[in-house]
Structure 1
Amino acid sequence: MQGQRTTPDGQVADAVKGNWVDIHAPAWSRPYLRLSRADRPIGTWLLLLPCWWGLALAMLTHQDARWQDLWIFVGCGFGAWLMRGAGCTWNDITDRDFDGRVERTRSRPIPSGQVSVKGAVAWMGLQALVAFGILLTFNGTAIAMGVLSLVPVLVYPFAKRFTWWPQVFLGLAFNWGAMLAWVAHSGRLETPALVLYVAGMAWTLFYDTIYAHQDTEDDALIGVKSTARLFGSQSPMWLRRFLVATVCLMGLAVILALQPAAPMLALALALCGPWAMGWHMTWQLRHFDAEDNNRLLMLFRKNRDTGLIPLIFLGAALFV
């Protein structure tokens, strides 16, 4: 990783090469877009996909698709982009001293001096305000759920300072949309949505443990905790456990949602989603190498495809 610090034009070390921010965005906006991780879109996908799972499963459960669901689908997309940006900005504000001491993160906008803390706070507030405007177009219960989601978002950056399991807090925040989108469709929170939420948390433990292995040496030096440091050489065993938990819990959510009213073909299609997702996670596990940072980052980014797999099958089941 040596030599991957801030480049003359301010690019961040682990950004996607040739991304639209570095090439097409106006120069004045680039530090703020980098603060929101717009040059690293995988996080938006990981926040958005549980929302779409929840919406699709709710539509299957209640056997009703309305025009409002199209807006929920689109609104979740905009909201995920904005709240991921606001959350990452908050994370970088709280972690600015740590980030400056870690090779992979010292090129981020705040520790590299591209954005001041006051500027970052204003940018975070703007993103959150626009996201709140979108949330207000949903029903009252969904609005309350959205406001409540701020609790794990605010806590997460501090979790690695007091627990070896900060990925649990990331899972609490990143999968909240599975419940929110369900409630936006149905008006109430139901058991399948809760089980789907926990399935998403298991998935987060899987992919973020892989991601955290990039920083284990630096984290040990500065005293930051993570599941990657906790598990060490036993990470493959734990990743396998998280894989099994993800598949079983998502399968249970589907069964609870669709039985006994849904057609058997719809149930079978929907259950193919967690099954195929599990195989994609198995492929990641086979290629896991804790000593190869490039591979770790590649596997982490592949989780966009992992999360799309069950969504495709849930979408297919909607047409049965």
Structure 2
Amino acid sequence: MEVLKIFQMDEPISKKLLPSQNSRSLNSSFKHSKVDQLTEMDKLRKQLIIAQSENLTLQKELSSTVNEEAENKEKLVELTKKLRELERKHEELLSHNTVNTKPKGITFDEIISLENKVLILEHKNRDLEAKLKKLHQITKENEEKDNIIKLQKDKLIEIESKLKQNENTSCAIDKIGDAGMDNREIEFQKVMLEYEELLGKVLTERQTLLDDKNTVQNHLANLELAFNDLLQKYERAKKIVEGFKKNEEILRGQMTEWTKTLNNFDKKYTDLKMYAEKKISQANVTILNKNKGNIEEVAKLKAKILQSQVKINELEKHIKPNEIETVSLFAPLKNDLKRKH
């Protein structure tokens, strides 16, 4: 009670005015308060070291997330380029493609390669989704760590208030106590200055970490927008590929029908060819037989002609003298007839 009365007094009381028991109690209380302050300072230093280590881990995690985000951006740029190329190819193919006619310049190998590219894009999209989930987890962890840092800051503010109270009490005790305790007070002030500097560094680092977190969140939002755009383009490409698959099935059905008709025409052609060859061989045989018969008949006719010519010559030889005789006999008759007419 006496100590409290002394603290409540306006002016400090010198050591001579105080009784011996009060001075001893003040010295003991001052020593205990200094020990408590030193223990609290040690605790604060430990807490500051822990906070610095946590800040370093946060910085490392943020740097890793920034690097991953840059890699994801590069991959997204590559994927968008590939998707634009695919869309351009799909538009060219759609401009040339019809359902009933076979497109020129399009092969099944190109369609298969497009399907493979789409599968690769699906795998890449899954990887990006996993990375986005990881980024969400990292942001949640960063938020939890920010909450922990806020709690630590609140604790540090409480400790600062306690230290200020201790400083006020120590100043009052120093005014009342011995002049030999000034060195300890100077050391305590030095420690407090170091603590304030460390606290300022921690706060600045925390602010930088918060700024980095905001930038990472903005980048993550941009990445989500780009990813949604990529998903929309992927869905469009998927629909286009499904249309190509349907057209491919239709074309394959038409190809099977065409192959069946071609096989039927081939069979008919082979049958007609065999029938024509048989008929031609039969006609050749008949022609040969007719030629042989005609040659024989011609030879017979030639022989008959020769025989008839010989007979004609013989008859002409017999007829000429008979003609002369008949002419000489019928000449006067002709003359008479002419005269009568």
State the TM-score, normalized to the length of structure 1.
0.21
Higher helix share goes to which structure?
A: 2
State the TM-score, normalized to the length of structure 2.
0.20
Q: Which structure ranks higher in relative contact order (CA pairs < 8 Å, sequence separation ≥ 6)?
A: 2
- Asked which structure has the greater CA Rg, the reply is 2
